[in-house]
A and B are shown apart, each in its own frame.
Chain A
Amino acid sequence: MNTSTFNAPVVESPDGFHLGDGHRRVIAWMIYLGFAALAIGIINGLGQALNYARIDILQYFPGMRDYYQGLTVHGVVNAIVFTFAFTNGFLALTTSRALARQLPLAALWVVFGLMVAGFALAGFSIGTGRASVLYTFYSPLQAHWSFYLGLVLLVVSTWVTAGILFVALAGWRRENPGKRIPLMAYISVATYGMWVLASLGIAVSVVGILLPWSLGLVATVDPLLTRTLFWFSGHPIVYFWLLPAYVSWYVMVPRHAGGKLFSDPLTRVVFIMFLLLSIPTGFHHQYTDPGISGGMKAIHAGLTFGVFFPSLVTAFSVMYALEIGGRRRGGSGLVNWFARLDWKNPALVAQLLAMLSFTLGGATGLINASYNLNQAIHNTAWVPGHFHMTVGSAVTMSFFGIAYWLIPYLTRRELVGKGMALLSSWVYFIGVLVMARGLISGGLDGMPRRTLIMEAPYTKEGWELAGLLTGLGGTLMFIGGVLFFAVLAGTVLFGKKTEGEPDIPFTVTHEAPAETGWEVKLDRFRYWIIAAVVLVLIAYGPFFASYLPGAFTSPPYRFF
């Protein structure tokens, strides 16, 4: 490695951009809303983890009717409210900063209002026992209409955010003809572009079918069709959870680590690959569904393996950026640079541990995607074992790490309890590994997911140890979460008032984006979106062409 790596010019110019107080406030409220949802989710999560250890604390939860009501809360608030609220705020900030443009304040408050209304409606229906349908809401289990309407408002909040970002980018392009889109804005907008396209499945299903059905306007539904539309959005939604963390890993973590991002074009290629390949992969959640041909499932298997590739590229790019940082701090040899990273910086440590857990999450995900091998683990406890190492830690801990600089930045207060923040990350990380070990071994022994195991009349050898580890790990995760919330609340309420950081901590890139050649084409989102639509048509077209108009033969059931 030569020294020029360290002395390369700052590529993204600071331009003296300052985020106004009004903007800081609205973004802060979005982040608070997200973490408030997560707090509710984590409390329920403790109850679910202890269920596997046959310890019943759910009976002490006020207003809780049964395990499945709590599981619905856990899924909806963690996977939808928390992620959407955090991402709407965070990527609005990164885009605004990268383009050096103030976003329309009123529109940002509309986003916040939609999320509050959606959260309230969904919360009302679930809280009053009218919607214990889990966050996948498979028909013909039927929830109260307010549940579906709440989901609609939450999704619309992401669309309004997307609109704000697209308009900002269009305005920037008008004023900067021929210039390359700043990297941080590029990857933020690409994330929303992917999600807007991906969310159409769930939109058609909820607005077109489930909402009218729950209002009694139509009598019957097609369970396979609504399920397929759910997974049309349901796999790419995991990238909508993950990509904001990737944004941080690409452009912020190198800065925390004292390194820098090596390749501008490769980063853009990675996000374009996610835009192209996230959606035409949904059948890998339906490998075991009758009614979808093996050939279509095989196509989705191939594309799912394809969408694994940009994550491997990310592993290289992020690792290399970290290595630059570690060597600058005196690290040497093959692995010593990793130990030399700044393990006292809570923002960095949370995200380093997030990455470590994500390697296991990725490996187990590849097994899920493995066509007929999926039958060994489908719908067993293995699956929550897998996704707690992805969204439940890689994403969640990354958002913790981001919060450690973002909350002080937004509130102009110093972080309170740095030691506690570091402890939180380690406890949560160890907790998720222990819990995943339990869930994964239980799953391999056939233990089902989404099941009140402690009251099931059947059991098997191996489930007891698996359950104990799940309960123990979940408890540690809960403690890690409580420590995080203590730091968050301490900072917001009691943090010492400061001038505040003038800017957010994002990295420079070793090489500036090229002004000519093939790389310029990466910035033409329009063509990439057309390509993504074509891939979706190839991957889903034959199914819908042969399946539609569908079999609307199922009346509603409310088994809760």
Chain B
Amino acid sequence: MNVKKVEMVFLSLCASMLLVFLLALFYSAYGMGMHLPGVEATVDPREVRQTAPFDEPGLREVGEGQYEAVFLGFAWGFQPREITVPAGSEVTFIATATDVIHGFHVEGTRVNFMLIPGQVARQSYTFREPGEHLIICHEFCGAGHHLMYARVIVE
């Protein structure tokens, strides 16, 4: 058995596998528009409650079947605690934290980002099926971390 040859075949297959995976991921992001949160805006966390749009957290309709949901995360809760949208709506979440780092995961969807004081996160998602999704704070934020959640209700 020519070990070096077998090894080269094995390693070439491995490298090709990694390359194919990576290309598929980049296609899903840049070809199909499934982007990660990026650079959006900054806000002074000490004044965030007086700064638009976070002075009025909540859901607002911005177009036909299109909504903006402005969320604040703090120890230990979200504001608003619940939003309700019709099935088929595209919801753009705009969120930040007022105190420490929190997490924002609409479970069952790919809406999953960090709430970092000073940074504004933004992500859109279309809720096609009626149902309920928990919004879970998934980053440790102090003694009451496990009490921090909200809901998206799709009707």
- Closest chain-B Cβ to A538's Cβ sits at a distance in Å of 18
Asked if residues A316 and B7 are in contact (CB atoms below 8 Å), the reply is yes
**Complex: A1 Cα to B44 Cα, angstroms:** 67
- Closest chain-B Cβ to A35's Cβ sits at a distance in Å of 27
CB-CB contacts below 8 Å: B3-41 with A: 3, 7, 10-11, 14-15, 18-19, 21-22, 25-26, 28-29, 34-40
Of B10, B144, B146, the most chain A CB neighbours within 10 A belong to: B146
Asked if residues A379 and B147 are in contact (CB atoms below 8 Å), the reply is no
Instruction: Kindly specify which of B56-64, B65-73, B84-92, B103-111 makes contact with the partner chain.
Output: B103-111
Contacts of B139 in A (CB 8 A): 138, 379, 450
**Complex: A141 Cα to B134 Cα, angstroms:** 25
Contact with B along A258-288 (1 / 0, CB 8 A): 0000110010000000000000000000111
Q: Is the C-beta of A373 less than 8 angstroms from some C-beta in chain B?
A: yes
Q: Which of B28, B99, B117, B146 contacts A455 (CB 8 A)?
A: B146
**Complex: A193 Cα to B93 Cα, angstroms:** 43
CB-CB contacts below 8 Å: A431-446 with B: 445-446
User: Taking A378-B112, A449-B138 as contacts, is the C-beta distance between A290 and B119 under 8 angstroms?
Assistant: yes
**Nearest B residue to A457, CB-CB:** B147
Contacts of B119 in A (CB 8 A): 224, 289-291
CB-CB contacts below 8 Å: B107-135 with A: 107-108, 110-114, 116-122, 134
CB-CB contacts below 8 Å: A238-270 with B: 262-263, 266
Contacts of A227 in B (CB 8 A): 101, 116
User: Taking A224-B119, A372-B28, A375-B112 as contacts, is the C-beta distance between A380 and B138 under 8 angstroms?
Assistant: yes
Of B11, B21, B75, B114, the most chain A CB neighbours within 10 A belong to: B114
- Closest chain-B Cβ to A450's Cβ sits at a distance in Å of 5
Asked if residues A289 and B113 are in contact (CB atoms below 8 Å), the reply is yes
Contacts of B140 in A (CB 8 A): 68, 71, 134, 138, 450-451
Q: Is the C-beta of A560 less than 8 angstroms from some C-beta in chain B?
A: yes
**Complex: A227 Cα to B101 Cα, angstroms:** 10
**Complex: A554 Cα to B25 Cα, angstroms:** 35
Contact with B along A57-84 (1 / 0, CB 8 A): 0000000001010010000000000000
Contacts of B25 in A (CB 8 A): 301, 370-373
Asked if residues A289 and B37 are in contact (CB atoms below 8 Å), the reply is yes
- Closest chain-B Cβ to A484's Cβ sits at a distance in Å of 29
**Complex: A294 Cα to B35 Cα, angstroms:** 7
Asked if residues B75 and A559 are in contact (CB atoms below 8 Å), the reply is yes
Asked if residues B116 and A559 are in contact (CB atoms below 8 Å), the reply is no
Contacts of B10 in A (CB 8 A): 312, 316
- Closest chain-A Cβ to B104's Cβ sits at a distance in Å of 9
Contacts of B11 in A (CB 8 A): 309, 312-313, 316
Q: Is the C-beta of A215 less than 8 angstroms from some C-beta in chain B?
A: no
- Closest chain-A Cβ to B4's Cβ sits at a distance in Å of 8
CB-CB contacts below 8 Å: A535-560 with B: 551, 553-555, 557, 559-560
**Complex: A555 Cα to B117 Cα, angstroms:** 10
Q: Which of B29, B34, B112 contacts A298 (CB 8 A)?
A: B29
Asked if residues A560 and B29 are in contact (CB atoms below 8 Å), the reply is no
- Closest chain-A Cβ to B35's Cβ sits at a distance in Å of 6
**Nearest B residue to A5, CB-CB:** B3
Q: Is the C-beta of B100 less than 8 angstroms from some C-beta in chain A?
A: yes
Q: Is the C-beta of A518 less than 8 angstroms from some C-beta in chain B?
A: no
Asked if residues A141 and B141 are in contact (CB atoms below 8 Å), the reply is yes
Q: Which of A290, A298, A456, A551 contacts B26 (CB 8 A)?
A: A298
**Nearest A residue to B122, CB-CB:** A290
**Complex: A306 Cα to B26 Cα, angstroms:** 15
Q: Is the C-beta of A527 less than 8 angstroms from some C-beta in chain B?
A: no
Asked if residues A68 and B149 are in contact (CB atoms below 8 Å), the reply is no
- Closest chain-B Cβ to A451's Cβ sits at a distance in Å of 5
- Closest chain-B Cβ to A336's Cβ sits at a distance in Å of 16
Q: Is the C-beta of A7 less than 8 angstroms from some C-beta in chain B?
A: no
User: Taking A223-B118, A290-B121, A371-B29 as contacts, is the C-beta distance between A446 and B42 under 8 angstroms?
Assistant: no
CB-CB contacts below 8 Å: A294-308 with B: 294, 297-298, 301-302, 305-306, 308
Asked if residues A289 and B21 are in contact (CB atoms below 8 Å), the reply is no
Q: Is the C-beta of A320 less than 8 angstroms from some C-beta in chain B?
A: yes
- Closest chain-B Cβ to A215's Cβ sits at a distance in Å of 20
Asked if residues B14 and A309 are in contact (CB atoms below 8 Å), the reply is yes
Contacts of A132 in B (CB 8 A): 143
Contacts of A375 in B (CB 8 A): 36, 110-113
Contacts of B37 in A (CB 8 A): 288-290
Q: Is the C-beta of B80 less than 8 angstroms from some C-beta in chain A?
A: no
User: Taking A309-B15, A557-B75 as contacts, is the C-beta distance between A458 and B143 under 8 angstroms?
Assistant: no
Contacts of B138 in A (CB 8 A): 378-380, 448-451
Contacts of A445 in B (CB 8 A): 107
Asked if residues A291 and B42 are in contact (CB atoms below 8 Å), the reply is yes
Q: Is the C-beta of B52 less than 8 angstroms from some C-beta in chain A?
A: no
**Complex: A291 Cα to B28 Cα, angstroms:** 21
Asked if residues B141 and A559 are in contact (CB atoms below 8 Å), the reply is yes
Q: Is the C-beta of A292 less than 8 angstroms from some C-beta in chain B?
A: yes
**Nearest A residue to B112, CB-CB:** A375
**Complex: A373 Cα to B40 Cα, angstroms:** 21
Contacts of A302 in B (CB 8 A): 22
- Closest chain-B Cβ to A417's Cβ sits at a distance in Å of 38
Contacts of A557 in B (CB 8 A): 75, 99-100, 142
**Nearest B residue to A456, CB-CB:** B146
**Complex: A288 Cα to B60 Cα, angstroms:** 24
**Complex: A279 Cα to B49 Cα, angstroms:** 37
**Nearest A residue to B40, CB-CB:** A290
Contacts of B1 in A (CB 8 A): 1
Asked if residues A553 and B110 are in contact (CB atoms below 8 Å), the reply is no
Contacts of B146 in A (CB 8 A): 451-453, 455-456
- Closest chain-A Cβ to B95's Cβ sits at a distance in Å of 9
Not counting A290-B40, A301-B25, A446-B134, a sample of 10 additional A-B residue pairs whose C-beta atoms are within 8 angstroms of each other reads A141-B101, A289-B116, A292-B38, A316-B10, A375-B36, A375-B112, A376-B110, A378-B138, A554-B45, A554-B117
Q: Sorted from nearest, which 8 A-B pairs have the closest CB atoms?
A: A559-B142, A446-B107, A290-B121, A379-B138, A448-B138, A291-B119, A375-B112, A312-B14
7 residue pairs bridging A and B, Cβ less than 8 Å apart: A138-B101, A305-B18, A375-B111, A375-B113, A446-B134, A449-B138, A557-B142
Chain B contact residues, CB within 8 Å of chain A: 1, 3, 7, 10-11, 14-15, 18-19, 21-22, 25-26, 28-29, 34-40, 42, 44-46, 75, 96, 99-101, 103, 105, 107-108, 110-114, 116-122, 134, 136-147, 149
